[in-house]
């Protein structure tokens, strides 16, 4: 994104009247076509307005020869968050510029702007750069292509908010190696043998249960040519084991659901040319 499209940072605002700085930013060339998108994004993050209000107060204090140190520290801390926001918007707009008019038309679509508001609420609540990058990709891809519906994009944003980074590690393992068993997945994300009654085993079972009940992953199922799932053959009666099935069993392969596969393509990757059935 060109410099005239970059959001004003707190350091800029502190050194100048914030209303003047914001007006200068909004009046920059080429701003108009991104106005609704940027306002939707800014309106979704509550502390943005607080920065301008606090900056105005600090500016007044500087003119009077006094500075509230606590307010200054608060602004300094939020400057880092604002710079992250600036960088995210820069990447989105830069990508939209590359894609061209088809993506820019989406910026005036109220449904898309609703996604933007929800996306930046998730972005603001994210606890890691990884999650913020996923939000950025979801917004960029939603602007760039209609390979999935806006309802699915909203679901993907919900998954970003709901799941932790370790959930995404499980998804990536299965995406890279369809048919991985629990033992395979555990080896990739942890690698050390643990007791079945350990906290690590409980956490792993929780991860697999979360993703299974969330329709992100499932145990592999054979299908007909029409895509119907084949019923499993009844298992042969066998002597009952004295112990329960392992949390790290090595006999049941897992795969992504179609929703899970689209989530990987749409959120964990950049824009892709098409979304086909999982191989």
Give me the mean pLDDT over the 65-69 stretch: 53
Q: Does domain 165-232+243-268 match CATH 3.40.50.11540?
A: no
User: For residue 241, what pLDDT is reported?
Assistant: 57
pLDDT tens-digit readout, 119-151: 999 999 998 999 999 999 999 888 887 777 889
The Cα 6–Cα 63 span in angstroms is 27
Say yes or no to pLDDT of 211 above 60: yes
User: For residue 82, what pLDDT is reported?
Assistant: 77
The Cα 116–Cα 111 span in angstroms is 9
> Which of 124, 116, 122, 121 has its CA nearest to residue 84?
124
The Cα 276–Cα 279 span in angstroms is 8
User: For residue 124, what pLDDT is reported?
Assistant: 92
User: For residue 17, what pLDDT is reported?
Assistant: 43
Count of Cβ atoms closer than 10 Å to residue 127 Cβ: 9
Lowest average pLDDT, out of 78-87, 161-170, 175-184, goes to 78-87
Give me the mean pLDDT over the 215-230 stretch: 78
User: For residue 278, what pLDDT is reported?
Assistant: 42
DSSP, collapsed to helix, strand or coil, labels residue 136 as helix
Give me the mean pLDDT over the 264-272 stretch: 76
Give the percent of the chain with pLDDT over 90.
35
Domain extents in the chain: 3-150, 165-232+243-268
User: For residue 22, what pLDDT is reported?
Assistant: 46
Q: What is the pTM of this model?
A: 0.76
């Amino acid at each position: 994104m060109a410099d005239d499209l970059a959001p004003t940072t707190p350091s800029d605002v502190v050194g100048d009247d914030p209303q003047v700085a914001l007006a200068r930013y909004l009046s920059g060339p080429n701003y108009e076509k991104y106005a609704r998108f940027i306002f939707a994004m800014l309106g979704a993050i509550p502390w943005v307005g607080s920065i301008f209000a606090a900056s105005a107060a600090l500016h007044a204090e500087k003119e009077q020869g006094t500075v509230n140190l606590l307010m200054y520290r608060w602004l300094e801390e939020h400057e880092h968050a604002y710079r992250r926001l600036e960088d995210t918007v820069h990447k989105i707009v830069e990508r939209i510029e590359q894609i061209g008019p088809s993506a820019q038309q989406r910026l005036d679509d109220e449904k898309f702007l609703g996604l933007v508001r929800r996306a930046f609420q998730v972005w603001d609540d994210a606890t890691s750069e990884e999650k913020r990058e996923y939000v950025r990709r979801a917004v960029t891809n939603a602007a760039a292509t209609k390979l999935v519906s806006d309802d699915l994009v909203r679901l993907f944003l919900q998954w970003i908010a709901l799941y932790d980074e370790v959930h995404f590690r499980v998804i990536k393992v299965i995406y890279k190696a369809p048919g991985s068993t629990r033992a395979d997945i555990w080896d990739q994300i942890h690698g050390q043998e643990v007791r079945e009654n350990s906290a690590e085993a409980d956490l792993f079972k929780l991860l697999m249960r979360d993703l299974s009940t969330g329709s992100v992953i499932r145990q592999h199922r054979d299908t007909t040519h029409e895509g119907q799932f084949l019923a499993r053959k009844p298992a042969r009666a066998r002597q009952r084991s004295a112990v329960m099935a392992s949390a790290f069993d090595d006999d049941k392969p897992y795969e992504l659901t179609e929703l899970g596969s689209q989530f990987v393509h749409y959120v964990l990757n950049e824009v892709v040319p098409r979304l086909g059935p999982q191989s």
